[in-house]
A and B are shown apart, each in its own frame.
Chain A
């Protein structure tokens, strides 16, 4: 997982950290049970305040995306699978809409697209 902080961004740093970890979880790059760097290690790596990384983790806990256990650190929670699935479905839908628009531009029929998709599905 990479976290990149931009000073030019208008988002506060804790939000940038939060958004990028959330993105890694939603994209499936981080899976349930994967451990996250400790609050203090992450603060050191990013050269930011401990309070900043702490706040990012607390917000993610509120969204039930991560769990923190005293003495053991933080890891990706398995609790919010519905939310994660819902978010990923939404992204899939966006991509499908893109496909539909693209195929319309190529003047393919609905049947053509479905046939093409079926073919690709079988090859996978």
Chain B
């Protein structure tokens, strides 16, 4: 299997936090979700992929090409959608498009107009008049209109309503009908990824916790709920994260078979969501509520 993105030992030190020796493969032909709480390095990692932040150490390879040496070629072939708006606020959508389109060799005007119509964006509107959600839609229209093979999205859904978020999942699935295409998608709204992501890369405190097929992750972990009397020091150690209250405990275990053997029918074992996994891993240790 080939990789759309290859990060090797990427490190970036800041005063407050460090992206620490991250090696990550984003597989071609699939959707990879980059999850993690706010401020753990997701955006920094994406900025390093895009060459907007230079790593102190380590290498970035995109679509088989080395960054930043082949940056100009690479950027023809990728689409970017970000929470931040990179466009000139005082221009209209049409003016902005006229500025962007010539940069792309494979610009498809027809496609672009079709997306504007579908997203109900008026070309006469100024960028500054657009809502946050509309800006993301505009960025998505640009990203999908130059035959990008790799779509890189940084928190694209945070400003969007649930209706358009669902529609966007369909647009992404459309792009994925071609198995040469790939998507990487950073978010803290994990319900979007619960549905369509193929791989999940989990970043916490500047480190990569795992990068695995979503189905495997969800099958491996389990939520255990039960009576406080079941817990002792040894058993507490089995938990990735544990939340104890006056009426019982709830915790995450990263080996379902183990948990089944250990607790049998004494506790309730539930299927976790990505949010559960993120919450308990981020908190770590014991959480008292």
Contacts and interface: CB of A to CB of B under 8 A. Distances in A.
Contacts of A48: 195-196
A55 interface: yes
A49 B177 contact: no
Given A44-B173, A44-B174, A49 B179 contact: no
A14 B170 CA distance: 20
Interface residues of B, number: 20
A49 B198 contact: yes
B219 A12 contact: yes
Interface in A43-81: 43-44, 47-52, 55
Nearest to A52: B215
B215 A40 contact: no
B130 interface: no
A41 interface: yes
Contacts, number: 45
Given A12-B215, A49-B31, A50-B30, A40 B198 contact: no
Interface in A1-54: 10, 12-14, 40-41, 43-44, 47-52
Given A49-B31, A51-B215, A44 B170 contact: yes
Contacts of A55: 215
Instruction: Determine chain A's interface SS by DSSP, over half rule.
Output: helix
Interface in B168-201: 169-170, 173-174, 176-177, 179, 195-199
Contacts of B215: 12-14, 49, 51-52, 55
Contacts of A43: 173, 176, 196
Nearest to A45: B173
A41 B177 contact: yes
A50 B198 CA distance: 6
B169 A51 contact: no
B222 to A, nearest CB: 12
Interface of B: 29-31, 169-170, 173-174, 176-177, 179, 195-199, 213-215, 219, 271
In the A-B complex, the 8 residue pairs with the closest CB atoms: A44-B173, A49-B198, A51-B198, A47-B195, A40-B177, A51-B213, A50-B198, A49-B214
9 contacts: A10-B271, A40-B179, A47-B169, A49-B214, A50-B29, A50-B30, A50-B176, A51-B215, A52-B215
Interface of A: 10, 12-14, 40-41, 43-44, 47-52, 55
